[in-house]
Amino acid sequence: MKLTGGIIALFVSLVVATAIDAAQCTNPVTRREWLELTATEKGQYTEALMLLKNRPISGQTRDPTIMSYDDFVQTHVENAVWTHGNAQFYPYHRALMHQFDLAIASTGWTGGVIYWDWPSVSQNWRDSDVFDYFGAPNSTDVDNCVVTGPFSKPNFTIAPGLTQFTRPIAEGGDRTCLRRCGQDVVLTDSTIIISALMNATTYIKFRGDDTSNYHAIGHTVLGVHHGLVDKVWWRWQQLCPEFKTDYEGTLIDVSDPVSDGVNSTAYASLQLDSFEWWKISDFLETESDLLCYNYSKSAGDLPLSLLPGLTCPSAKIVPEVESPIFLENWMQDAIGGLLNQANPVNISKRDLPSSSYSVTKNIDGTLTVNYPDGKKIFIPSKFKIHRVFESNIQAISLTNGKPKMFHEQKSVVLYQEPFCAVKPDPKNHCFLKNPPRLTEKIATGMNLDWNHVQSSDNISAMKVFEHNCKCSTQ
Q: Is residue 306 part of a domain?
A: no
- Give one DSSP letter per residue of 323-355, joined into a string: SHHHHHHHHHHHHTSTT--SSPPP--TTSPPGG
Q: Is residue 213 part of a domain?
A: yes
Dist. CA 421–CA 199, nearest whole Å: 28
Query: Which neighbouring-strand residues pair with 403?
Result: 396
Which of the two residues, 289 and 372, has the higher pLDDT score? 289
- Give one DSSP letter per residue of 236-250, joined into a string: HHTT-GGGGT---EE
Q: Is residue 412 part of a domain?
A: no
Tell me the per-residue pLDDT of 79-94, one tens digit each, with 9 for 90 and over: 888 888 789 999 999 9
CATH number for the domain spanning 75: value is: 1.10.1280.10
Contact in structure between 113 and 101 (CB atoms under 8 Å): yes
Kindly report which listed range (138-142, 162-166, 271-275, 349-353) carries the lowest average pLDDT score: 162-166
Cis peptide before 154 (omega within 30 of 0): yes
Which of the two residues, 147 and 2, has the higher pLDDT score? 147
Kindly report which listed range (4-18, 270-284, 285-299, 387-401) carries the lowest average pLDDT score: 4-18
Counting the structural domains of the chain, the total is 1
What pLDDT band is residue 64 in, cutting at 50, 70 and 90? very high
Q: Is residue 290 part of a domain?
A: yes
* Structural domain harbouring 41: 22-295
Dist. CA 438–CA 417, nearest whole Å: 20
Residue in 41, 125, 116 with CA at minimum distance from that of residue 298: 116
Mean pLDDT calculated for residue range 415-441? 83
Tell me the per-residue pLDDT of 345-386, one tens digit each, with 9 for 90 and over: 333 445 566 667 889 999 999 999 998 878 899 999 999 888
Mean pLDDT calculated for residue range 319-334? 31
Q: Is residue 393 part of a domain?
A: no
- How many CA within 13 A on the CB side of residue 412? 10
Tell me the per-residue pLDDT of 115-148, one tens digit each, with 9 for 90 and over: 999 889 888 888 899 999 988 888 888 888 888 8
Q: Is residue 392 part of a domain?
A: no
Q: What is the mean pLDDT of the chain?
A: 79
Helices (H), 106-211: 130-134, 190-197, 203-208
Q: Is residue 378 part of a domain?
A: no
Q: What are phi and psi of 117, to 5 degrees?
A: -85, 70
Pairing of strands 29-31, 293-295: parallel
Which of the two residues, 324 and 259, has the higher pLDDT score? 259
- Give one DSSP letter per residue of 364-410, joined into a string: TS-EEEEPTTS-EEEE-TTEEEEEE-SS-EEEEETTT--EEEE----
The length of the chain, given as a count of residues: 474
Q: Is residue 310 part of a domain?
A: no
